[in-house]
Chains A and B, each alone.
Chain A
Amino acid sequence: DTAVSQTPKYLVTQMGNDKSIKCEQNLGHDTMYWYKQDSKKFLKIMFSYNNKELIINETVPNRFSPKSPDKAHLNLHINSLELGDSAVYFCASSQTDYYEQYFGPGTRLTVT
């Protein structure tokens, strides 16, 4: 059973389009995250949700909007995609007071 899953695994789209990435975890965790990994492999947190409440919102363009319908899901919607949005996006989850995070396989987004 996959602990943290993401769909799709690959996403190729054109500039200006709107796209969504979905994330689901079956670990029973109450906190979920989105990270962005750029072409140089640098990982940076974008958002985190705890029990569907936004906890961390780093300096991310407001074209990025996370949504958490329940504790097990955290989706990322991106409007008006730009070339610079091309990256690998990772979802992760953890349990409150337990700092270790478990990562999904990533979604490689390519904007042309």
Chain B
Amino acid sequence: AQSVTQPDIHITVSEGASLELRCNYSYGATPYLFWYVQSPGQGLQLLLKYFSGDTLVQGIKGFEAEFKRSQSSFNLRKPSVHWSDAAEYFCAVAGTASKLTFGTGTRLQVTL
């Protein structure tokens, strides 16, 4: 069965600092991987996705993620965090029937 682990429940960074959110997945075949962001009281917005090809994928809002098959990881990065990036971030893997399995999320707090 597919699964996703986000080891960091809560991360605090200063505005302007770099960010890396960790995601590890378990899936038997080639995974389809996603990062979603959820602002307080809002729905989930797709940040980026990996299906195949280039292992470094670019997304919206200046985010990128790198797929590393050897480490079963798909970490999300941003070079310089803005206060508006404070939100909950979810990593997800798609399996059969397009079923998305989500990690438990990482709450990002940005200090000014």
> Is chain B's interface secondary structure helix, strand, loop, or mixed overall?
strand
- Kindly provide the distance from the CB of A28 to the nearest chain B CB, expressed in whole angstroms: 16
Supposing A99-B32, A99-B51, A99-B94 touch, asked if A45 and B99 sit within 8 A by C-beta, the answer is yes
Does the CB pair A104–B43 fall under 8 Å? yes
Q: How many residues of B contact A (CB 8 A)?
A: 23
Nearest 10 interchain pairs by C-beta: A99-B94, A103-B44, A43-B102, A103-B43, A105-B43, A99-B32, A41-B105, A55-B97, A106-B43, A99-B98
Instruction: Please report B residues at the A interface, Cβ cutoff 8 Å.
Output: 32, 34, 36, 38, 42-46, 49, 51, 88, 90, 94, 97-102, 104-105, 107
Q: Give the secondary structure class of A's interface.
A: strand
Q: Are A105 and B99 in contact (CB under 8 A)?
A: no
